[in-house]
């Protein structure tokens, strides 16, 4: 009775995991990279220098710039630089030509120290991975739906996986290296159990993030057709007063930072939004940086732009929203400092590895049955090609994306799009390569290729830009240096994986009979 | 060699990882795992379970979120958010049920009965003017 239940759960784990494994691998890998979104963007737009200046200084520069260049705009948005994202971004919206229309937005990035405009090379940077992670390069809202469906499947696969492993903690301490299929299974269990809390948190929170999109029945039941009212109640936004059409100079905004910080018991401002600058009814809304675990979407303080008087602040959110905000905050990890951010990154990699090992196990087990005849049925060959392209191919495509950033001419039209195109072309070619080459050779070749590409990233960076690893280290720009070093480490890891794969293939295909003879010594041998 | 392979396959099955039908109605798998021997009725039963899990499970989850929203003594927005947050747990349990139960028919029955009950309870909330 009990055994039957566990077997049924194992069946569900196996097939849910297989069908969505390739997609989930890509979602997990790009999501893991997105934890370093700002650092990746910084590396991909190295022209924007990292400065250590106070928020007040940057804000004063931004205000001066906007007063000179966008005095007549209806709205200003200022994104202050922080340790991870060095750019001081100013955007402004022109007053619409006709009422009811939306005014045109313009954006500029400023040097946080001098206030001069800086032109970074056209690139999506880390934003690409972040967007792909939940939009999957599909038109709205299909990508979001598909990624949320994948999250639900992941949730089912996780729970059925836990049920399947009755001796979950005992299994965790069981690792039998160099035992082929057994080692993969042990590894799958180890990475699964080791960061299980992370897996559960990240999967459930991803469902919560898009719940009002995928599970709207209760909104409709409670609010009827007035769905907008629901969002207004969940995310209370302060109303901005109408334009008075009386000219009045905008007060200096730098002192507002301190006032807002007092309101938030020490929290920092990430963004300022100024409505009707230069008008008597100007308002300044300061939004809080995501420096707490519990994310609060509406957390803002509003000031009168002329007198600097505080007009109001959003109230504390009720418990249900705080729980939702906590899931959101935990998933995004905005609050994480550098150590915690690396921990997130490592947990994300562990999740990616768990999915990857699962896919390898599925195929390996079924391949064994055809090892003698050497003929693989179509469905197994299909899984093999998809495994290779979705794992080794995707990793290579990431490196191609980085290399395209350095190798495409800076003046190229639609340059950011071409970086993305390079990524997908490389991924597509990896499918082609996996189809043309025998499985094991394709694995080794793509891993070697990926290793070479990743090692090439810091080298090409040094050859094409003045921001090489040495310079970054000397300037103490750890985002740039860390990027180069991580690429190097990834290259070495892929080379090691290729080498292991090469050797494993030799033992499986050529020396297979030797595995029958008991050789206890191998356990004691190193490496 | 062959014996060894067989033992290995059996071991894997005991771990519950093979395409073992488990307690499903038809155990259509021989020693070497030839899928071709699976009868059509087994395939239909699995398809039926999958459909029950995906669509029936969603129905139960959505109805559970509505019921919670209408009955929880919270402000409207809070009740909606709570209902939506919990609905995914209901979905999970519904999916597990669809594959754990004995037959494909019981999968459907096990989802439709709670659906009717939940719909009745939320209807009662509307009748009482809670909505």
Whether chain B has a CB inside 8 Å of the CB on A349: the answer is no
Give the closest residue to A146 by CA, choosing from A308, A41, A138, A507. A138
Greater confidence (B131 vs A355) lies with A355
Nearest chain A residue (CA) to B129: A222
Domain ranges for chain A, please list them: 1-47+120-235+319-368, 55-119+237-314, 373-527
CA distance B111 to chain A (A): 17
The token duo for A364 is 């390996």
Task: Report the alpha-carbon distance of residue A103 to residue A97 in Å, rounded.
Answer: 7
Task: Report the alpha-carbon distance of residue A439 to residue B42 in Å, rounded.
Answer: 32
Whether chain B has a CB inside 8 Å of the CB on A9: the answer is yes
Residues of B in contact with A223 (CB under 8 A): 76, 80
pLDDT at A359: 95
The token duo for A156 is 């089912």
List per-residue pLDDT tens for chain A, 527 residues long.
356 888 899 999 999 999 999 999 999 999 999 999 999 999 999 988 888 788 889 999 999 999 999 888 888 999 998 878 888 999 998 877 777 677 788 889 998 888 889 888 999 999 999 999 999 999 988 999 999 999 999 999 999 999 888 666 666 566 676 667 788 888 898 888 889 999 999 999 999 999 999 999 999 988 888 888 888 888 776 666 778 888 888 989 999 999 888 888 888 888 999 988 888 889 999 988 877 777 776 678 889 889 888 888 877 788 888 888 899 999 999 888 889 999 999 999 999 999 999 999 999 888 888 877 778 889 999 999 999 999 999 999 999 999 999 999 999 999 999 999 999 999 999 999 999 999 889 999 999 999 999 999 999 999 999 989 988 898 888 889 999 999 999 999 999 999 998 887 765 443 333 333 333 333 333 32
- CB contact (8 A) between residue B78 and residue A319: yes
Question: How would you class A27 by CB atoms within 10 Å of its CB: exposed for 0-12, middle for 13-18, buried for 19 or more?
Answer: buried
Q: Is B32's pLDDT higher than 80?
A: no
CA-based torsion, A338, A341, A347, A351: positive or negative: negative
Task: Report the alpha-carbon distance of residue A199 to residue A159 in Å, rounded.
Answer: 10
Q: Are A325 and A295 in contact (CB under 8 A)?
A: yes
Whether chain B has a CB inside 8 Å of the CB on A324: the answer is yes
Give residue B8's pLDDT band: very low, low, confident or very high (50, 70, 90). Answer: very low
Helix (H, G, I), strand (E, B) or coil at A272: strand
In this structure, how many other beta carbons lie within 10 angstroms of the beta carbon of residue A352?
Answer: 24
Over the Cα atoms of chain B, what is R_g? 21
Q: Are A92 and A75 in contact (CB under 8 A)?
A: yes
Helix (H, G, I), strand (E, B) or coil at A304: strand
> What is the average per-residue pLDDT within B16-36?
40
Q: Is B18's pLDDT higher than 60?
A: no
Q: Which stretch of A491-505, B33-47, B76-90, B114-128 has the lowest confidence by average pLDDT? A: B33-47
Whether chain B has a CB inside 8 Å of the CB on A233: the answer is yes
Respond yes or no on whether ipTM tops 0.95.
Answer: no
- CB contact (8 A) between residue A8 and residue B99: yes
CA distance A11 to chain B (A): 6
Residue A300, beta-bridge partner list: A287
The token duo for A44 is 């991909």
pLDDT at A238: 61
Cα A472 to Cα A12, A260, A310, A468, B11, distances in angstroms: 49, 34, 42, 6, 54
pLDDT at A178: 66
Give the closest residue to A118 by CA, choosing from A58, A76, A73, A33. A58
Task: Report the alpha-carbon distance of residue A249 to residue A306 in Å, rounded.
Answer: 6
Residues of A in contact with B68 (CB under 8 A): 218
Give the closest residue to A232 by CA, choosing from A293, A321, A331, A332. A321
Whether chain A has a CB inside 8 Å of the CB on B31: the answer is no
What's the pTM value of the predicted model, to 2 decimals? 0.86
């Amino acid at each position: 009775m009990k055994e039957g239940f566990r077997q049924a759960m194992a069946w569900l784990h196996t097939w849910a995991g297989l069908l969505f494994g390739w997609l989930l691998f890509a979602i997990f890998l790009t999501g893991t990279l997105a934890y370093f979104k700002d650092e990746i963007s910084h590396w991909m737009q190295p022209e924007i220098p990292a400065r250590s200046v106070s928020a007040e200084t940057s804000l004063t520069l931004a205000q001066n710039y906007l007063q000179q260049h966008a005095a007549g705009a209806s709205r200003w948005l200022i994104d202050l630089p922080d340790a991870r994202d060095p750019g001081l971004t100013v955007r402004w919206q022109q007053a619409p030509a006709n009422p009811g229309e939306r005014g045109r937005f313009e954006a500029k990035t400023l040097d946080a120290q001098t206030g001069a405009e800086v032109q970074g090379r056209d690139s999506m940077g880390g934003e690409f991975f972040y967007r792909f992670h939940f939009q999957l390069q599909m038109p709205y809202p299909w990508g979001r739906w598909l990624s949320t469906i994948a999250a639900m499947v992941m949730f089912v696969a996780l729970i059925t996986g836990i049920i399947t492993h009755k001796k979950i903690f005992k299994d965790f301490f069981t690792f039998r290296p160099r035992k082929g299929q057994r080692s993969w299974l042990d590894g799958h269990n180890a990475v699964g159990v080791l960061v299980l809390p992370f897996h559960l948190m990240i999967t459930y929170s991803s469902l919560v993030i898009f719940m009002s999109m995928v599970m709207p029945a209760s909104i409709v039941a409670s609010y009827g057709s007035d769905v907008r009212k629901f969002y207004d109640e969940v995310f209370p936004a302060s109303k901005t007063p109408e334009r008075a059409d009386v000219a009045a100079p905008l007060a200096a905004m730098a002192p507002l930072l301190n006032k807002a910080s007092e309101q938030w018991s020490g929290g920092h401002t990430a963004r300022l939004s100024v409505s009707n600058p230069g008008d008597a009814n100007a308002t300044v809304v300061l939004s809080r940086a995501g420096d707490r675990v519990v994310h609060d979407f509406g957390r803002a303080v509003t000031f009168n732009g002329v007198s600097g008087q505080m007009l109001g602040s959003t109230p504390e959110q009720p418990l249900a929203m705080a729980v939702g905000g906590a899931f959101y905050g935990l998933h995004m990890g905005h609050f994480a400092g550098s150590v915690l951010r690396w921990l997130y990154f490592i947990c994300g990699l562990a999740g990616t590895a768990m999915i990857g090992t699962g896919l390898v196990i599925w195929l390996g087990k079924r391949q064994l049955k055809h090892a003698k005849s050497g003929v693989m049925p179509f469905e197994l060959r299909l899984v093999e090609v998809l495994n290779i392209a979705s794992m080794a191919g995707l990793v290579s495509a990431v490196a191609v994306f980085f290399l395209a950033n350095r190798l495409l001419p800076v003046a190229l039209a639609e340059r950011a799009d071409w970086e993305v195109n390079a990524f997908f072309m490389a991924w597509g070619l990896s499918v082609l390569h996996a189809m043309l080459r025998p499985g094991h050779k394709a694995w080794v070749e793509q891993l070697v290729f990926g290793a070479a590409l990743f090692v090439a990233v810091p080298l090409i960076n040094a050859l094409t830009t003045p921001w090489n690893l040495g310079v970054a280290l000397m300037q103490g720009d750890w985002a740039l240096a860390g990027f180069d070093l991580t690429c190097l480490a990834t290259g070495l890891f892929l080379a090691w994986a290729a080498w292991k794969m090469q050797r494993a293939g030799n033992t499986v295909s050529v020396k297979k009979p030797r595995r029958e003879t008991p050789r206890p010594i191998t356990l004691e041998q190193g490496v | 060699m062959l014996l060894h392979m067989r033992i290995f396959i059996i071991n894997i099955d005991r771990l519950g990882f093979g395409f073992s039908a488990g307690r499903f109605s038809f155990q259509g798998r021989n020693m070497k795992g030839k899928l071709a021997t699976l009868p059509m009725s087994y395939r239909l039963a699995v398809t039926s379970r999958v459909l029950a899990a995906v669509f029936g499970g969603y129905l139960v989850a959505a109805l559970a979120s509505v019921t919670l929203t209408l009955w929880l003594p919270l402000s409207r927005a809070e009740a909606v958010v709570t209902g939506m947050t919990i609905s995914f747990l209901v979905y999970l349990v519904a999916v597990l049920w669809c594959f754990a139960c004995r037959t494909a028919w019981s999968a459907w029955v096990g989802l439709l009965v709670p659906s009717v009950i939940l719909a009745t309870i939320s209807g009662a909330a509307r009748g009482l003017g809670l909505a």
